[in-house]
């Protein structure tokens, strides 16, 4: 793997990678679930000003407006930011999906989203292919630059590709040391899809204080959180940690000057188990509307 430090450009804290449709994304983004209103705007402008460029929101977070307001207040130009939102499960029927994407744009006060993802597959309802067709159309209309999915098992992605000929650029899935998604990552990579890690820190899980991870972290003069984020990057996954204080935001950005060894990577991956999903959200059965 090319050392990430080598590909970092001037004035750009986070290195970039290229998606299968040519869109360039920072290798780490910023999660926004729960950041709303004036307090949310403050957190988000702080994150943008600190160096985060890829911002992850969703129709269902009810904070696309907060994200839009933060964009207008931050020191960063809109075109230098990559804003991602998501289509809720209850809006997967074709026409509803188109209108929802338009509504997402109005909520954010934006002309376009850089990325838009199907939030959950909800296979029982069986509308995700129709939703995908709407996303393809929304991209053609210029509402979205790049389209992807969340929580899609390999068979769901294969079906999208088979039935529409269009491969998602991103698959955002639960991924952290307790659930390292080894098979999902391999299959995403085979299909040319970048795996993004949601809840990359397990939402403040005890892994942030774990002694074994602490020993690895100490060997590099880093914190557990930095070590876990670095593990995501070296796996080839794209983490989107959330952090409410500038202290944590800055700490989480400071991960591009060290490299974990193969043994250290393996030791962190070894926390994982088959039932390691922290909230039991198996996309086969877990539905979100
Ligand atoms: N597509 C999907 O289905 C899903 C997508 N997501 C997306 O993923 C994003 C990230 O996941 P999320 O569930 O929010 O949780 P994370 O795994 O990002 O964890 C966030 C928690 O970690 C803490 N934290 C962050 N940095 C540090 C640090 N340096 N030291 C100590 N604690 C720290 C935060 O505390 P503090 O605020 O005090 O810094 C917060 O409590 C979401 O916000 C959302 O955008 C999430 C779930 C599902
Ligand atoms: O945060 C998200 O994007 C979700 O999909 C959440 O609903 C998450 O799965 C959750 O918090 C469920 O309790």
Q: Is 119 annotated as a binding residue?
A: yes
pLDDT of amino acid 12: 66
State the virtual CA torsion across 58, 44, 49, 6 in degrees, nearest 10: -40
Please report whether residue 48 resides in a domain: yes
DSSP codes, 183-215: HHHHHHHHHT-EEEEESTTTTT-GGGG-HHHHH
- Res 148 pLDDT > 70: yes
pLDDT of amino acid 13: 84
pLDDT of amino acid 161: 98
Give the pLDDT confidence of 41-64 residue by residue, as tens digits.
999 999 999 999 999 999 999 999
- Kindly report the CA angle at 169 between 143 and 67, in degrees rounded to 5? 50
Query: Quick one: CA dihedral 182, 184, 190, 192, positive or negative?
Result: negative
CATH of residue 180's domain is 3.20.20.100
What is the distance in A from the centroid of ligand 1 to the CA of 49? 19
Between helices 64-73 and 94-108, what is the axis angle to 10°?
Answer: 40
Instruction: Looking at the CA of 170, name the nearest ligand.
Output: 1
Band of residue 9 on the pLDDT scale cut at 50, 70, 90:
very low
Name the residue at shortest CA distance from atom 32 of ligand 1.
204
Structural domain harbouring 48: 6-269
Measured between alpha carbons, how far is 108 from 86 in angstroms, rounded to an integer?
Answer: 13
Please report whether residue 154 resides in a domain: yes
Residue-wise over 64-76: b if at least 16 C-beta within 10 A, else e? bbbbbbbbeebeb
Band of residue 8 on the pLDDT scale cut at 50, 70, 90:
very low
- Report the nearest atom of ligand 2 relative to the CA of 199: 1
Measured between alpha carbons, how far is 287 from 202 in angstroms, rounded to an integer?
Answer: 20
What is the distance in A from the centroid of ligand 2 to the CA of 226? 23
Could you tell me which of 55, 19, 27, 9 has the C-alpha nearest to residue 253? 27
Structure tokens at 217: 């972290």
- Res 261 pLDDT > 80: yes
The mean pLDDT of the chain is: 95
Measured between alpha carbons, how far is 247 from 90 in angstroms, rounded to an integer?
Answer: 37
- In terms of Cβ atoms closer than 10 Å to its own Cβ (0-12, 13-18, 19+), residue 285 is exposed
Structural domain count of the chain: 1
pTM, two decimals, is: 0.96
Ligand 1 site, CB within 6 A: 31-33, 56, 119, 150-151, 172, 198-204, 208, 225, 240-245, 248, 251-252
First-last CA distance in the chain: 39
Asked if the ipTM is above 0.90, the reply is yes
Structure tokens at 233: 């990057």
Instruction: Looking at the CA of 56, name the nearest ligand.
Output: 1
Structure tokens at 268: 């962190």
Tokens 């209103």, residue located: 37
For ligand 1, mutation pick of 67, 242, 286 (most atoms within 8 Å of CB):
242
Please report whether residue 143 resides in a domain: yes
What is the distance in A from the centroid of ligand 1 to the CA of 185? 20
Residues 193, 169 contacting (CB under 8 angstroms): yes
Give the count of alpha carbons within 13 A of 240, CB side only: 25
- Res 211 pLDDT > 70: yes
Per the residue annotation, which of 52, 61, 128, 156 is the catalytic one? 61
pLDDT of amino acid 3: 36
Ligand 2 site, CB within 6 A: 33, 58, 279, 281, 288
Q: Is 106 labeled as catalytic in the residue annotation? A: no
CA distances from 235 to 99, 138, 197, 201 (A): 37, 31, 11, 15
Average pLDDT over residues 57-75: 98
Measured between alpha carbons, how far is 249 from 44 in angstroms, rounded to an integer?
Answer: 10
Please report whether residue 278 resides in a domain: no
Please report whether residue 73 resides in a domain: yes
Q: Point out which residues pair with 115 in neighbouring strands.
A: 84, 146
Please report whether residue 203 resides in a domain: yes
Please report whether residue 103 resides in a domain: yes
- Report the nearest atom of ligand 1 relative to the CA of 242: 18
- Res 70 pLDDT > 50: yes
Measured between alpha carbons, how far is 231 from 23 in angstroms, rounded to an integer?
Answer: 23
Please report whether residue 289 resides in a domain: no
């Amino acid at each position: 793997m090319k050392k990430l430090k080598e590909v970092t450009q001037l004035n750009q804290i986070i290195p970039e990678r290229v998606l299968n449709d040519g869109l360039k994304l920072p290798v780490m983004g910023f999660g926004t679930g729960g950041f709303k209103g004036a307090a949310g705007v403050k957190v988000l402008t702080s994150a943008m000003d600190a160096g985060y460029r890829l911002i992850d929101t969703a129709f269902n977070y009810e904070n696309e407006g907060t994200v839009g307001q933060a964009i207008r207040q931050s020191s960063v130009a809109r075109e230098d930011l990559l804003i991602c939102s998501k289509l809720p499960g209850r809006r997967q029927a074709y026409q509803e999906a188109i209108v929802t994407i338009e509504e997402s744009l109005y909520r954010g006060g934006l002309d376009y989203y850089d990325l838009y993802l199907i939030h959950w597959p909800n296979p029982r309802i069986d509308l995700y292919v129709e939703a995908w067709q709407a996303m393809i159309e929304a991209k053609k209309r210029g509402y979205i630059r790049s389209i992807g999915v969340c929580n899609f098992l390999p068979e769901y992605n294969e079906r999208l590709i088979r039935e529409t000929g269009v491969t998602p650029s991103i698959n955002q899935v639960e991924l952290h040391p307790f659930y390292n998604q080894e098979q999902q990552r391999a299959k995403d990579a085979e299909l040319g899809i970048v795996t993004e890690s949601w809840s990359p820190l397990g939402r403040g899980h005890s892994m942030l204080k774990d002694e074994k991870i602490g020993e690895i972290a100490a060997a590099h003069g880093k914190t557990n959180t930095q070590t876990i984020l670095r593990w995501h990057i070296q796996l080839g996954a794209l983490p989107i940690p959330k952090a409410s204080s500038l202290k944590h935001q800055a700490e989480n950005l400071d991960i591009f000057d060290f490299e974990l060894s193969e043994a250290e990577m393996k030791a962190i991956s070894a926390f994982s188990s088959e039932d390691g999903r922290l909230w039991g959200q198996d996309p086969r059965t877990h539905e979100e509307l």
